[in-house]
Amino acid sequence: MNNSYLDEYMGKISGVYKERDALSANFIPSELPHRTEELKTVIQWLSFALTGSTPPNILILGAPGTGKTVSIKKALREINSYDASRNITTIYVVVGKTQQQTLIFMSQEVGLALPYRGYGFDELWKMFITALDRDKKVIIVLDEIDKILPHGSGLLYYLTREMNFCTIGVSNKINVLEMIDDKRVLSSFNPRKLVFKRYDALQLRDILEYRTSKAFYDGVIADGVLEYISAIAARDGGDARYALDLLMFSGDLVVRDGCSKVTVDIVKRAREEVEIEYVKRSICDMTVPQKILLGTIAVYDKHKKGGISPGDLYKVCKRVMDDYYSKSLTSRRLSEYLKELELLGFVKTIKRGKGRGKGFSWLVELNVDVGSDLILEVLGETLDDELPVKIDKFVNFL
């Protein structure tokens, strides 16, 4: 690139951002507005490790964007900074696609490179345990723990049977413990539960104001912008991560276009880009059954131009899962998957009248502005490695 272009953009960035990373999901702020009590609780539980005792196992629950991950990361940072004698080992991982991959991620956090092939899970576990100092207390965080539980609970079984181990699960799913089908694991895990409630608009406003003071220079954010973003994020489920993404995209647009301020109009433009990125990221993070369910609804929307009845939805999803995923589907599980997609904001269930004196029917529809084509495109990319049937073939089952 011509240096004059680089100089131009460097000048624009330096006039907008003080510290752009303050808006990142990986940023751990010195303050966590409206999560003080939750943070105190986690630190209280983990502080037992500083006295030579093993902390209780913990399960942190809450909808996306409610501060679960940043709170646990901040708690780990405080424990590590206080642990001058280094008597505690802390491991934080976002779980992989399988328990074995997750164990490999855990080993990498302690400087051990486990082989991806050629060894069974039990052998890899022995290598992992051998690499640890057994006299230390070990705190292990499994973020998005629900994603590996459908494949069994072997990893959790091993973790919860180690005397010096504290295992912390983080999940968006309130019913995550129901995914553990081994009663021995449920008994040994037996976690303390902490539920993070959704943020309201006023709380989101406080969070944005704090992050803005770290990320932007004074005067860059116009009046009304933070209130506008807070209202949108509160309406869409109280997701602070979404609100911060929207603020960052808006700031980037100001840099790109050479504007002086982030205005409400710029936020409206940025929102379209954020929605697309949010949809892509959320779909990639879904379980296979969730993807099958969403794919069926999107295919129906594309070809039938409307909502699908719960009965037809069950019929199609059950057939796809029976034929191509080797996992049976019950109406109860379908209802749970549907609630999860509603929680993520992808679908909605509506009541529609059939006409005077004819009663009404329930229909499931898409609830995102990006349209079925983008959803099907992303689903196609993510399901190619997991299903032997292309998603556009779902139409044959309608």
Q: Which of 395, 214, 162 is nearest to 297 (CA)?
A: 395
Each residue's pLDDT tens digit, 248-289 = 999 999 998 888 899 999 999 999 888 888 888 888 888 888
Each residue's pLDDT tens digit, 313-328 = 999 899 888 888 878 8
Print burial letters for 258-283: b (CB count within 10 Å at least 16), e (below 16): ebeebbeebbeebbeebbeebbbebb
Each residue's pLDDT tens digit, 285-297 = 888 889 999 999 9
**In the chain, ranges of CATH 1.10.10.10 domains:** 286-397
> What CATH class is the domain 199-281?
mainly alpha
Question: Residue 262 is encoded by which pair of tokens?
Answer: 């982030």
When pLDDT is averaged across residues 96-104 and rounded to a whole number, the result is 91
Can you name the CATH fold of 36-196?
Rossmann fold (3.40.50)
CATH of the structural domain 286-397, one choice from 3.30.1360.120, 1.20.1600.10, 1.20.58.1030, 1.10.10.10: 1.10.10.10
pLDDT level of residue 344 (50, 70, 90 thresholds): confident
**In the chain, ranges of CATH 3.40.50.300 domains:** 36-196
- Residue 28 is predicted with a pLDDT of 95
Share of the chain above pLDDT 70, in %: 96
The larger pLDDT score, comparing residue 368 to residue 77, is at 77
Q: Concatenate the DSSP letters of all residues of 180-234 into one string.
A: ---HHHHHHH-PEEEEEPPP-HHHHHHHHHHHHHHHB-TTSB-TTHHHHHHHHHH
How far is the C-alpha of 150 from the C-alpha of 113, rounded, in Å? 26
**Residue 95 has what DSSP assignment?**
-
Under a CB-based contact definition with an 8 Å cutoff, are residues 314 and 329 in contact?
yes
pLDDT level of residue 357 (50, 70, 90 thresholds): low
CA distance from start to end of the chain: 52
**In the chain, ranges of CATH 1.10.8.60 domains:** 199-281
Each residue's pLDDT tens digit, 218-247 = 999 999 999 999 999 998 788 999 999 999
Which residues 6+ apart lie within 8 Å of 89 measured at CB?
110, 132, 133, 136, 137, 138, 139
- Residue 155 is predicted with a pLDDT of 94
When pLDDT is averaged across residues 130-157 and rounded to a whole number, the result is 91
pLDDT level of residue 305 (50, 70, 90 thresholds): confident
Under a CB-based contact definition with an 8 Å cutoff, are residues 68 and 62 in contact?
yes
